[in-house]
Each structure stands twice: as structure tokens, then as C-alpha cells.
């Protein structure tokens, strides 16, 4: 595969680069570790962030989008169980650590794949076991 660019003109202009898609959702999940407000600036407006917002709100977060600023606050974890989401991505497995840290319990769906293929979650589970967590899985 290759790209062929025909132009003959000098490229010039400005573009605004948003924050990292991969970092944005992880920072939202990391915010579950504190009861303080977290402000994420230059936040990208992406589908995965909407799924992560749904997850965070299910466990007790207050999430506000203000342009490209996302404010998230979780004063209390009101629900340590995330049994289903309206859409799928692999983010729920990352919520195990923060939920365990704040409540001592956590239940999330194990979604270990996407269009690219299988994405094992065993490294996440092994890390939590090494920290003392007892992991149980069921058909759900």
C-alpha cells in the first residue's frame, strides 16, 4: 500500500489537534479513583468516550461536556456492577482496578475483542490477582 500525493503547491495553514483517543478513555476510567473533579482539556469527541461516559455514569460519575473540555466527578461509587452497556468496547476491564480500590468489589463484562480480533484480558486479571484480588468469572 502507498499514498500518492499530487499537488505542486506548498502546504500551509493551521489545524487544531485534539487529545489522544486512546488516552482520553483511560483518563476517564482513572478519574474513578478519586472523589475530586477531574478536568480533561482538549478532549476528543469520539464514540469510545461516549461508551466510557456511560460506564462512568453507571457507577456514579457526573460527566459534563463543555466543548472540548470534559469534567468528571465521582463523589461516591454508587454501583460496583456494570452488567451491560448499550454499546461494546474493551474499556470495562480497566474499571476493575478503580472499582476495587474504592469499594472492594467490582463486576464488569469481559469484552475481549473487536473488529481487529481477539484482545486477551488475562494480563489485567493477573495484575489484579498479584495485588490480592480474588477473581471469579461466570457465563455473563
- pLDDT tens-digit profile, the chain (140 residues): 898 888 888 888 998 888 887 899 999 999 999 999 999 999 998 888 888 999 999 999 999 999 899 999 999 999 999 877 766 677 888 999 999 999 999 998 876 555 666 667 888 899 999 999 999 888 76
Tell me whether residue 122 is in a domain.
yes
* Catalytic residue list contains 48: no
The values of phi and psi at residue 40, to 5°, are: -110, 110
> Which CATH number belongs to the domain containing residue 85 in this structure?
3.65.10.10
Nearest to 85 by CA among 75, 95, 77, 76: 95
Tell me whether residue 7 is in a domain.
no
24: cell is 482520553
Catalytic residue among 35, 48, 114, 138: 114
Tell me whether residue 27 is in a domain.
yes
Tell me whether residue 10 is in a domain.
no
Give the pLDDT score at 27.
96
33: cell is 479513583
Amino acid at each position: 500500500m502507498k499514498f500518492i500525493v499530487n499537488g505542486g503547491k506548498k502546504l500551509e495553514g493551521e489545524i487544531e489537534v485534539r487529545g489522544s483517543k486512546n488516552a482520553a478513555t483511560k483518563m476517564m476510567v482513572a478519574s474513578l479513583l478519586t472523589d475530586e473533579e477531574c478536568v480533561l482539556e482538549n478532549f476528543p469527541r469520539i464514540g469510545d468516550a461516549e461508551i466510557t461516559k456511560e460506564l462512568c455514569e453507571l457507577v456514579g460519575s457526573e460527566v459534563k461536556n463543555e466543548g472540548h473540555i470534559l469534567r468528571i466527578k465521582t463523589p461516591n461509587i454508587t454501583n460496583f456492577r456494570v452488567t451491560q452497556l448499550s454499546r461494546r468496547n474493551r474499556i470495562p476491564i480497566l474499571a476493575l482496578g478503580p472499582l476495587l480500590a474504592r469499594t472492594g468489589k467490582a463486576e464488569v463484562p469481559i469484552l475481549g475483542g473487536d473488529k481487529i480480533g481477539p484482545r486477551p484480558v488475562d494480563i489485567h486479571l493477573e495484575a489484579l490477582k498479584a495485588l490480592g484480588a480474588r477473581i471469579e468469572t461466570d457465563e455473563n
